Chains A and B, each alone.
Chain A
Amino acid sequence: MPLQLFPFLIPITALALALVLFGGFVALAGANVLEVYHSIYRGAFGSWFSWQNTLTSAAPLMLTALCTALPARLGLIVIGGEGAVVLGGLAAALTGLALIDAGPWVALTGMALAAMLTGGLLIGLVGWLRYSRNVNETISSLLFNYIGIAILSFLVIGPLRDPATLNKPSTHHIADTHMLGALGESSIHWGFGYGLIACVILWVLYKRTTFGFAVDMVGGNVRAAKLSGLPVGRTIVLGCMMGGAAAGLAGMVEVAAVHGRANTSLNAGYGYEGILIAFAARHHPLAIIPMAILFGGIRAASGLMQRDHDLPDATSLVLQGIIFILILASEAVFARLASRRGRAA
């Protein structure tokens, strides 16, 4: 078998194995396994309607995955996507409310820029703290998630609350004309387009520019990068800022395309799922696209799966967990193959 096929075969095998394990699990819970698979397929990819749901769910996941993938190329493990989504969404909502009388283009551009700036500054700060003060980026970004969620909760329940929102305290609604539109005739909002564009642009940036080269140098060996005169600190902060900006944009998309306001629905786990998508895609911006669509599909299918088979809401969480564990385990198979090839040569 040609070795070039392994990068595709191994994840697919892991995926198949995960489905089998999950099947055993739902069988234990008393559901008909084949019918559950069929429901997942129908709910995620079975019709144009379900495709639209899948791609809509994939939109924020692509952007939050970038928040982990870009710093990972620098050798940093950042898990602050959730905080960047939350604060980015908040910044977008506030900008949308400030620009409520402006034209839609001005308002949407302002919202996107504000969200990207907020997310970028947040994760940029994480990178800066790591570079200049040696603060562990994984822990600091985790803490920023909680701080971000607390700031959002405080503001939407307190000073920024629209008194008309009783059950779910939220900011005021942005102008209806400022909502992010759909792609063509579909119901998929533009957030999916943003995600695709971001993944492709960042892939080009990392593959074809000197900045991308500097990132790979820093990620490979910081001392070598310093010795060859690369601006290591600036590269780290910029790389982190780009990741944060992507996650911030995910928050803007959730506000401008889904909720219309900022509230605690922004804290929906997109940031944490993005971390795993980044690892599953091995931090490759283009590989993030299919992975995000796959997990968007699981999100989209979860309702149908629960209704048709009377399974608890947590079923899709279990499926996600099993898939991620097996994909991570498959990394080890890669590494073993690589070392065996190295020994043979």
Chain B
Amino acid sequence: MIDDGGQWLTVLIAVLGGAIRVGTPFLFVSLGECLTEKSGRINLGLEGTLIMGAMAGYGVAWISGSPWLGVLAAGAAGVVLGFVHALLCQQPRVNDIAVGIALMILGTGLAFFIGKPLIQPSAPHLPALSLGGWSDNPALRAALEINVLFIIGVILAPTLAWFFRSTRWGLAVRTVGESDDAARAMGLNVNGVRMLATMAGGFLAGVGGAFLSLYYPGGWSEGLSSGQGLMAVALVIFARWDPVRCLYASLLFGGAGALGPSLQAVGVTWGYYLFNAAPYVLTLALMIAASSTKVRSGMPGSLAAR
């Protein structure tokens, strides 16, 4: 029998490890969504992009033997879906939410269709760094097996914040997101900027998908994603359109997602599914709490205008 303190420590470590493992795809998809939303569009289709990326990444990694080529292929698949989203949304009277859901269905369908032969073979996994070597605790060591993609994501978040804050291109994205008219007055190509932002967002979401199939949970199956792509939209709002806060929020959502399984591992099975709902309830509560002011700070103007 383990004493109570040890049990809670186990849960804590498992949640920590889960926050990093489960949080990584959240991180990439939410950074992608953040970039797209900063330009003034919502892409609900990132769920489809994520699954498509998972499939393409797994397939290419299996054929080429290189997981990094797989990551690139996953990003490329995301770019293509982002291109389709942007192309449709820039037509008059076409709603970005509807296009997103259509692409979610199409992306998921295509991935399952093309990926059917990939369920059996096993592709090489992405490498991980063991940062827990100093500890004797095997659980802690397992939790500190950090994937390289996570480290890239951690660097990417502040880089993206810097990009928005201090570069000419970042200013262009923010201007287009605030007001079509102001952007046009500055001589910016509104549709062009949104197109690039959506495609780059798709790339990041595709990479998030590659993490799912090439690291954790690993392998290609139809149940690989549990709605992380859709969740990312909520997560970006939670993070108030700030890439660095997207990083914290991804870890929080990852940890919340790992809470149910971690409790189950130490024998607390009651309420497993309720704990799974924790991130959603949290987001909703925060949205309601933050919403009394008319326009939320940080929200791109053209998203607020509707």
Contact = CB atoms under 8 A, between A and B. Distances in A.
Interface of A: 29, 77, 79, 129, 133-136, 138-140, 142-144, 146-147, 150-151, 153-154, 157-158, 272-273, 275-276, 279, 311-322, 324-325, 328-329, 331-332, 334-336, 339
A331 B94 CA distance: 6
- The binding surface of chain B is classed by DSSP as helix
A312 B113 CA distance: 6
Q: Which of the listed residues B233, B272, B291 has the most CB atoms from chain A within 10 Å of its own CB?
A: B291
B106 A324 contact: yes
A139 B273 contact: no
B101 A275 contact: yes
A29 B272 CA distance: 41
Given A139-B237, A140-B287, A317-B109, A276 B273 contact: no
Given A150-B273, A314-B113, A328 B102 contact: yes
B292 A318 contact: no
A316 B273 CA distance: 30
Contacts of A142: 230, 233-234
Given A276-B102, A317-B109, 9 more contacts: A139-B287, A143-B280, A143-B281, A150-B274, A317-B105, A322-B106, A325-B88, A325-B103, A328-B95
Interface of B: 42, 44, 84, 88, 91-95, 97-99, 101-113, 116, 222, 227, 230-231, 233-234, 237, 270-274, 276-277, 280-281, 283-284, 287-288, 291-295
B292 A133 contact: yes
Contacts of A158: 270-271, 273
A321 B106 contact: yes
Contacts of A77: 95, 97
Contact of A29 (B108, B113, B280, B293): B113
B269 to A, nearest CB: 9
A281 to B, nearest CB: 12
Contacts of A135: 287-288, 291
Nearest to B281: A147
A318 B106 contact: yes
A314 B105 CA distance: 10
A133 B107 contact: no
Given A136-B237, A142-B230, A332 B102 contact: no
Contacts of B95: 77, 279, 328
Contact of B93 (A144, A151, A331): A331
Q: Which of the listed residues B97, B276, B294, B295 has the most CB atoms from chain A within 10 Å of its own CB?
A: B97
B88 A329 contact: yes
A35 to B, nearest CB: 18
A267 to B, nearest CB: 11
17 contacts: A29-B113, A77-B97, A135-B287, A147-B281, A153-B273, A154-B277, A272-B104, A273-B105, A312-B112, A312-B113, A315-B113, A318-B109, A318-B113, A320-B109, A325-B106, A329-B91, A332-B93
A140 B290 CA distance: 13
Given A146-B280, A313-B112, A321 B273 contact: no
Contact of A275 (B98, B274, B291, B293): B98
Contacts of B116: 312, 314
Contacts of A319: 109
Given A317-B105, A339-B92, A143 B284 contact: yes
A325 B233 contact: no
Contacts of A151: 273-274, 277
Nearest to A68: B98
- Give the top 4 A-B pairs by smallest Cβ distance, nearest first: A321-B106, A317-B109, A332-B91, A314-B112
